[in-house]
Structure 1
Amino acid sequence: MKVNKIAKAGTLESNDILIMVMPKDEPGVELELESIVMKQFGAQIKKVLLESAKELELDGVKIQAQDKGALDYTIKARLETAVKRAQ
C-alpha cells in the first residue's frame, strides 16, 4: 500500500496514541516512537507497529508515533486509520 500524503490519527489523551504517516523516497518503513511507557513496553509497541505495517503492505513510509499508554488494538486501529486517510 502506498502513502500519498501526510495523515494522522489518534490523540494525545491518556491511553491513546497519535500516529502520523508520511511518504518517503526510500523503500521500507521508518519508525519514530515516543512513549511515556518506553522502558516497559517500547519493544512491544514497535513490534505492533511494524507488524501492522507489514500486514498493510506499507512501503516507502515514515511512521511517527507519540504514545500515551495505548493498548495493542488501539495502536493497530490508529495506524490503519492514518494509512487510509493518506490514500
Structure 2
Amino acid sequence: MKINKPAKAGTLESNDILIMVMPNDKDGIELELESVVMKQFGKQIKKTILDKVNELGVKSAVIKAQDKGALDYTIKARVETALRRAL
C-alpha cells in the first residue's frame, strides 16, 4: 500500500482515538502518539498501531495518533480506515 494523500479517522471523544495518516518522503513509518494513558498503555498502543500498519503492508507513512482511552479493536479499526482513505 502506498499512501497518496493525508487522511484521518476517529474522534477526540472519550474512549476513541484520532488517527491522522500522511505520506512520508522517507522510507519507514514515523509514529507520533499522544495518550491520556501513555504511562500505562503507551507501548501497547504503539504496538497495536504498528501491527495493523504491517498487516496492511504499508512501508512508508507518517502517523499521528491522539488517544482518549480507546480499546485495541477501536485502534485497529481507526488505523485501517485512515490508511484505506489515504490510498
| TM over 0.5, shorter chain | yes
Equivalent pairs: percent with the same residue? 71
Deviations 1:2-23 (A, max 9, x none): 1100000000000000000000
AA aligned to 1:8 is K
Return the TM-score normalized by structure 1. 0.98
Computed over aligned residues only, the root mean square deviation of the Cα atoms, in angstroms, reads 0.5
Residue 22 of structure 1 corresponds to which residue in structure 2?
22
Residue 71 of structure 1 corresponds to which residue in structure 2?
71
- Work out the CA distance in 1 between the residues paired with 2:60 and 2:48: 18
Q: CA deviation at 1:59?
A: 1.4
Deviations 1:11-69 (A, max 9, x none): 00000000000001111111000000000000000000111110011112010000000
Residue 31 of structure 2 corresponds to which residue in structure 1?
31
Give yes or no for the alignment of 1:48 onto 2:48.
yes
- Work out the CA distance in 2 between the residues paired with 1:21 and 1:43: 19
Return the TM-score normalized by structure 2. 0.98
AA aligned to 1:53 is V
* Consecutive unaligned residues in structure 1, runs of 5 or more: none
Partner SS state of residue 73, structure 1: helix
Residue 3 of structure 2 corresponds to which residue in structure 1?
3
AA aligned to 1:84 is R
